[in-house]
Structure 1
Amino acid sequence: MRRRFNGAGLLLAAAAAVYLAAAWLSRPGFYDGFAPPPDSYRWVQPPAGVTSNGQKPLPGQAVLAVSSDHSRVAGGTVATGDQPPQAEVVIQPGALVAPNLDTVSVELTPQAAAGRPADALVVGNLYCLTSSVSLTQGEQLQLILRYSDQLPGANAVYRYDDETRSWVELRAVRNPKAATVTAAVPALGCYAPAAHSIATTSSGATVVVGNRWLPYVAAGTILLVLFAGLPLYLRLRRDGRSRSKS
């Protein structure tokens, strides 16, 4: 009898261990059921499998002053109107070519990404950085992009060239706590956050490598363990009743 109880205990312990491991590795929302909460990220066009929050992303614009002798454009920051901003650009003084005007404008416009890089998954909107003037040769701007909380965390920034329909990767620094990725961009243009943690099946389908499906796998494993232990439980209960009658 003791061995039987030990067997049932081991099954329950295994189920509990699987559940705790899944809860530890999964993002917040595991305990809310199997329907993921809406993404806090504002999408132009959410990808398949992402629950949209129904809010459209906002653009950003800034007006920078030009020195009185028209030799230098002031520095500043351009951020989208989302809270927190989904895209932000830090411009150093003199980074933009000074025109024969009093001010210059800089805009950030969200767009839906046209496809994706061959070796990465786009995990946010494509943000196009434009200005009434060009970037000074040799200068760079600091671009900060926020990414979706329902997809793998971004570890790269890609520039999209609409003419050649190609993607170019830039070196980037990830901040998991803020869910942002930062890169120095050498030109105006369109940029998107991306994650390298993807794989492609033989049929060409994209598979996200991460813990997104872990709660489902864990739940299935727990049910399997419990169903496997059910016959043992019923047998122990039947034996207990037989002994009580005798």
Structure 2
Amino acid sequence: MRRARYTLLALALVAAAYPLAALQTPPGFYEGFCPPVDYKFLTPPPQVKASRAPGAAHAEFKVVNGVVQPGFVATADDNPQAQLSVLPGAFGAPTGGGPEAIDVKPVKDYPEAKGLTLVTNVYQITSSTPMVKTSNLRLLYSTVLPAPSSVYTASAGGEWQALPSNASTQSGCSDIVAQITTTGYFAAGYSGGSTVPKPGSTTVGGGQALPIIVALAILIVVLAGLPLALVRRRRAAEEAGSPRPPSSPAPPSPPPGRT
């Protein structure tokens, strides 16, 4: 009985300690949810002590019968941090019959992201001709910072705008995908202050609230079931300790030969 109480109490303490530990963890506590991502920052945040330079990308797409052929261009990283998938005819055909050249590179100079927190590098996409059809852009993000809620885009000297975005279907973790209709500047982030969180600071955003809510729900379930479990064990102990009534003797069998 006492051991059962200690076990239930330990479970309740573990469930209560999880959200408290999560709040003391730097933003982006994804251990057990997403594998760590070795993200290469062009300008590393304070949480990252060292970071290799991020890669860029260049690709040339053939033009057949006046139509730019499909394909993709991905940055030269171990795990591409920016990848653009191009559908047939997504770009206007260059004059002279030459190939369509597309470049994707991380940049330090870009329009100010007022009211936003960008958690990835800002990538500038340029092309030989304008984009005329929708293309898919996939951005990898770090697990050190809060997960982004959207992909944002801006033109030179323009304001940043959020694009309809969702998690990548390739991994469902540490990737965000958006459909784009023009070239320009692109980054992933979420609405909020543009300052980078300090190491050890508490930030709940960009996907961190869900684990805390789940932990609190587990805590509520455990605490709600604790009294019921104690009552059941008490009844079982009482039934085991109470004496059983004597069994009734079996009726005598009739003598042989009588019906």
Counterpart of 1:189 (choices 168, 184, 188) is 184
- What secondary structure sits across from 1:134 in the alignment? coil
In structure 1, what is the Cα distance between the partners aligned to 2:202 and 2:156? 26
Q: Which residue of 2 aligns with 1:47?
A: 45
Q: Which residue of 2 aligns with 1:109?
A: 105
Q: Which residue of 2 aligns with 1:169?
A: 162
Name stretches of at least 5 consecutive residues in structure 1 with no aligned partner: 1-7, 30-37, 201-205, 215-246
Q: Is the 2:117–2:193 Cα contact (8 Å) retained in structure 1?
A: no
In structure 1, what is the Cα distance between the partners aligned to 2:31 and 2:74? 27
Q: Which residue of 2 aligns with 1:229?
A: none
* Counterpart mapping for 1:99-138 below 5 A: 99-112=95-108, 115-118=112-115, 120-136=116-132
Deviation at 1:53, TM superposition (A): 3.7
Q: Is the 1:124–1:193 Cα contact (8 Å) retained in structure 2?
A: yes
Tell which has more relative contact order, 1 or 2 (C-alpha 8 A, sep 6+): 2
Q: Which residue of 1 aligns with 2:254?
A: none
Q: Which residue of 2 aligns with 1:85?
A: 80
Q: Is the 1:199–1:207 Cα contact (8 Å) retained in structure 2?
A: no
Q: Is the 1:64–1:104 Cα contact (8 Å) retained in structure 2?
A: yes
Q: Which amino acid in 2 is paired with 1:103?
A: P
* CA deviation profile, 1:208-234 (whole Å, cap 9, x unmatched): 32459x9xxxxxxxxxxxxxxxxxxxx
Q: Which amino acid in 2 is paired with 1:19?
A: A
Bigger Rg, which one = 2
Deviation at 1:88, TM superposition (A): 0.4
Cα distance change, pair 199–208 in 1 and its aligned pair in 2 (3 A): farther
Q: Which amino acid in 2 is paired with 1:168?
A: Q
Q: Which amino acid in 2 is paired with 1:81?
A: A
Cα distance change, pair 101–207 in 1 and its aligned pair in 2 (3 A): farther
> Percent identity over the alignment?
26
- How many residues are matched? 192
TM norm structure 1: 0.64
